[in-house]
Amino acid sequence: MPDLVLREIEPGDNTARFSLGDAKHTPLKLFLKKKAKHHHQQNLSKTYVLVDQDDFRVYGYVSLTCSDVNLEVKAPVQDFPYNYPCVKIVRLAIDKAMKGNDLGTTLVNWSISIAKEKIMQNVGCRFIVVDSKKSAVGFYEKCGFTLLDTNANRSAQHPLLYVDLQKI
């Protein structure tokens, strides 16, 4: 297996061979191949890739963007009755050739720390959130995310999970 580095996506990165092995994950593949570099350049989302240093083949990626949590109830923090700023994990995927190596966990750890160390401490940001695929809820929980524990959310197509950055 190749040595990998984690860094920001670059124009010359090779995404052509990125494969997830299942048609249901095609949107994740297409986002990397067609949109990730453009969004990164335009500062709409930031994409970090796991890339082979020798041929720049991308084996995994995570894309992050700014978002907010809009609550229709009394605010959880006193005297802050506004939307709560958060970082959202937009996309995360690992090439089928690298499955089983905990690289997804690496990307989640990285994302949590970008939000906590870079965003929260310099701008203000309370949560990192993800609209997970149902099949990935257990993965995110294992990585430290908390599932919004309601029947509606548990049965949703993309259940919401979050980490309260203030508490870690």
Partner 1 sequence: MSVRTSVFGSVRLTNEDAEKFRQQVTYGRPKASAIKAAANGARMIREFDKKGFVKITVKGK
Which residues are at the interface with partner 1 (CB under 8 A)? 1-7, 44-45, 50, 65, 67-76, 83, 86, 88, 90-91, 98, 100-103, 105-106, 108-114, 116-118, 129, 131, 141-146, 148-153, 156, 158, 160, 163-164, 167-168
Q: Judged by CB, which is closer to partner 1: 22, or 141?
A: 141
Cα angle at 98 between 159 and 24, to 5 degrees?
40
Angstrom distance (rounded) from CA 59 to CA 97: 8
Q: Judged by CB, which is closer to partner 1: 14, or 146?
A: 146
Q: Give me the least distance between CB of 79 and partner 1, in Å please.
A: 14
Helix (H) or strand (E) holding 121: helix 121-122
Q: What does R_g of the chain's alpha carbons equal in angstroms?
A: 16
DSSP 162: E
Q: Give me the least distance between CB of 71 and partner 1, in Å please.
A: 5
Q: Judged by CB, which is closer to partner 1: 15, or 119?
A: 119
Half-sphere exposure of 48 (CA within 13 A, CB side): 19
Q: Give me the least distance between CB of 23 and partner 1, in Å please.
A: 19
